[in-house]
Amino acid sequence: MPMKPVMTALDIMALLDKEFPQIHAGGRVYSIDGVSSGTAVVRLSANEMHLRPGGTVSGPAMMALADLAAYVVILAHIGPEALAVTTNLNINFLRKPDQGDLLGTCRLLKLGKRLAVVECTIAGEGEEVPVAHATATYSIPPR
């Protein structure tokens, strides 16, 4: 989907800091690596609160990464609309992630007036084999 982003990663991070400061509870573990035409990459630098016994990143932490990355790619393309909300999120956990940062790479599949559909692949930094794959649908308020 060739679309030029209307917000930069810095713009989106500033919006998140203002509207959703709770994502930084327990430390700044999320960052936006970049946004481009139809895509966004969000990083989770997991800490102890994101880990399960054995050192694996928990499913809820990966779901949060997928949801945030979906929100970021949508905001990048519609502008600062804080009231866009998740209506559906489906995730498949494919394998145990190694310790280290996880990257959620999201791609817009559909961006309509009222709904956006996104797919997100989660992989360890520098890894090509995904640890999870998610799809998300967001409701976009009337603009």
Given this model, what pLDDT does residue 2 score?
58
**Bridge partners, 34 (sequence order):** 41
CB atoms within 10 A of CB 61: 20
**Residues spanned by the domain of 122:** 9-139
pTM above 0.85, yes or no: yes
Give domain status of residue 3, yes or no: no
Give domain status of residue 129, yes or no: yes
- Give CA–CA dist 28/42, Å, rounded: 13
**For residues 96-100, average pLDDT:** 86
Structure tokens at 87: 């209506």
Given this model, what pLDDT does residue 47 score?
87
Helix or strand holding residue 80 (H, E): none
The pairing of strands 115-124 and 30-36 is unpaired
Given this model, what pLDDT does residue 52 score?
85
Q: What is the DSSP letter of 96?
A: P
Give domain status of residue 68, yes or no: yes
Given this model, what pLDDT does residue 51 score?
86
**pLDDT tens-digit readout, 122-140:** 999 999 999 999 999 999 9
Say if CB 124 and CB 17 are below 8 A apart: no
**For residues 91-117, average pLDDT:** 95
- Give CA–CA dist 54/66, Å, rounded: 22
Q: How confident is the model at residue 112 (pLDDT cuts 50, 70, 90)?
A: very high
Give domain status of residue 133, yes or no: yes
Give domain status of residue 4, yes or no: no
- Higher pLDDT: 107 or 4? It is 107
Given this model, what pLDDT does residue 26 score?
81
Give domain status of residue 123, yes or no: yes
Residue 100, domain CATH: 3.10.129.10
- Give CA–CA dist 115/136, Å, rounded: 10
Give the number of domains in the chain. 1
**pLDDT tens-digit readout, 32-80:** 999 999 999 999 999 888 888 888 899 999 999 999 999 999 999 999 9
Give domain status of residue 28, yes or no: yes
Average pLDDT of the residues of the chain: 94
Give domain status of residue 2, yes or no: no
